[in-house]
Structure 1
């Protein structure tokens, strides 16, 4: 994969473009009353042309051309970075690169307001790592506009970014085939949120195209591929799109569906956390796993092993390391992250999976 990199503008670059001294540029940003209006205007025009975003309170970092830190941009509530198991593994991977390279780590939360892009562009960092976000997130263009290297986990694809992530659609179809036995008629899907508004939705045949978050879109599409391949109708598939990747929320949502009489003989989940919640609800309802209802997950951590969940194995830690390397301007191998299907006791043997 191609590495996105660019020359970060320094005070000297701006001075050369504006036709003034480096000291004048420094004063224009830090002590504007010490320069004439005309000189300051030339400096600001030159800075804009070079991709420098507005007034910079870190003038010394700009002078060195390095801030000594990587920025991780989360389009989630900030606590998500510390409570979601996959997010924490991913951050640990980024942090390992920072530790090796002597860099700090700055988490930049975006909250969906008009200041997100400005907040990202103004961050004193040498490169950006984005947690998956929407294709129309203005923060993507803001990061690219700083001419710093940019990486994103899971997508979307965007000019100036290196995307790091597995082939979610293919992996989703593969794990769904494990769950879809020869006599399965009523699959249910437990999914991540469809959009960054984190509004839960439930209903039959929710189209994957309704998902604006790439990972959700691709995994739902893969599930649909396998369900159609099994001769079933996606429009008869009940989909629970949750607000959060949360075990308790998953348990409540599936328990409600069971209480409402939604028929199910397999629950396809977009994460192990959601699969654990599904197992909780099924056990509490007296339904046997897997003879009555099979369950599949995604990620494969120690808890998945203990719970016997059939799942997709991937390493978010290694993906974090790859993103961190890109953001730090380091070379990385041009290979997609590895994934594999792990079959355990939460699913039945299926001819579709042979």
Structure 2
């Protein structure tokens, strides 16, 4: 019975030539960046294995692939499961449609091959979802000559940044919530790339978090708590692994022993606030909630939130990645919105 032959990949060529996948890719796409002897070895290995760049190679002759690469530091399914990430991608897709560009997802896995995997992609530019300062993909993209833009940071020379002033927004929303004299607890995004969930206090948090969004919002919350005359060092903080309602509910259950009747749950997203509210509805019905993103579900259930127009941020990132001649960084304005709770049944669910 005949068997189909496995298609030869660039990784196979790299292994035969004894180079990294990124070097093998550059031998075809940016030959000037590869030593002549190395380039000859890669091409010889490609000939021996029968590797051909095909359509991508032909596109690269013109210097354009008509593809925009989107790099996600989260699990790729997050791009579709998280409402705000989906809004961001919708904004990127809108610009791609308007400009006649294709869209290529470049998921990362947190391993040593991430940078090579991203740089080997046949794309004209990159859009990055916010990541940590120590993410090797960030440094790799910053050194690549192709244009790039990132949502939320970190800021890096060579990559345009589209974000809000998260510190001032966090300070403003927490200060507003604390005017009612409530006792705060915080539900935080991950502190680092290990994404370890835990319940701690302000005193045990690191001086800074490598995720810029997490770091800025924590600093804003801390300033608001201290300005209210309260102790940040004793403020309970639950750190989640992912931005999901399930994680928010788990965090709330971990915080429950620290909650009084006047609790103010300060969450870094509406998704986390919604999960916390569901978990605490029966045991702490008087608790108040602050979120982020001003989602329809959050507004409907009375959650005070920060507007975070991620669709517009996606559009702006795509524009900058496709036309690097535009002005670089752009601050996105924010406001605070107060939801209006609608009781859908006797328990407010």
TM-score, length of structure 2 as denominator length:
0.80
Q: Relative contact order (C-alpha < 8 Å, sep 6+): which is higher?
A: 1
The aligned counterpart of 1:172 is: 170
Kindly indicate whether residue 339 of structure 2 is the aligned counterpart of residue 336 of structure 1: no
Pick aligned residue for 1:64 from 62, 86, 92? 62
Q: CA deviation at 1:299?
A: 0.5
Residue segments in structure 2 that go unaligned for 5+ positions in a row: 1-25, 342-349
Q: CA deviation at 1:145?
A: 3.0
The aligned counterpart of 2:294 is: 300
Please tell me whether the aligned partners of residues 184 and 235 of structure 2 are also in contact (alpha carbons under 8 angstroms).
yes
Residue segments in structure 1 that go unaligned for 5+ positions in a row: 1-8, 35-54, 347-354
The aligned counterpart of 1:145 is: 143
Distance 1:338 1:275 in 2: 22
Kindly report structure 1 stretches of 4+ aligned residues shifted beyond 3 Å. Answer: 9-19, 27-34, 55-58, 261-264, 330-335
Matched residue count? 308
Distance 2:32 2:179 in 1: 68
Q: Secondary structure at the match of 1:175?
A: helix
Kindly indicate whether residue 216 of structure 2 is the aligned counterpart of residue 201 of structure 1: no
Q: CA deviation at 1:109?
A: 1.1
Pick aligned residue for 2:43 from 18, 23, 28? 28
Q: CA deviation at 1:99?
A: 0.6
Pick aligned residue for 2:241 from 236, 240, 243? 243
Q: Secondary structure at the match of 1:189?
A: strand
Q: CA deviation at 1:115?
A: 0.4
RMSD (Å) for aligned C-alpha atoms = 2.9
Q: Secondary structure at the match of 2:194?
A: coil
Q: What are the Cα deviations for residues 183-237 of structure 1, in whole angstroms up to 9, with x where unaligned?
A: 23x3100111112222102111143635221111111111001111111111111
The aligned counterpart of 2:22 is: none
Distance 1:181 1:265, change over 3 A: farther
Instruction: After superposing the two structures, state which structure 1 stretch, 326-335 or 132-141, moved more.
Output: 326-335
Please tell me whether the aligned partners of residues 151 and 163 of structure 1 are also in contact (alpha carbons under 8 angstroms).
yes
Alignment of 1:174-323 (within 5 A): 174-184=172-182, 186-205=183-202, 206-207=204-205, 209-258=207-256, 260-263=257-260, 265-288=263-286, 293-323=287-317
Distance 1:344 1:16 in 2: 55
The aligned counterpart of 2:11 is: none
Q: What are the Cα deviations for residues 250-278 of structure 1, in whole angstroms up to 9, with x where unaligned?
A: 123213321x3444621111001111112
Instruction: After superposing the two structures, state which structure 1 stretch, 324-333 or 109-118, moved more.
Output: 324-333
Distance 1:16 1:123 in 2: 16
TM-score, length of structure 1 as denominator length:
0.79
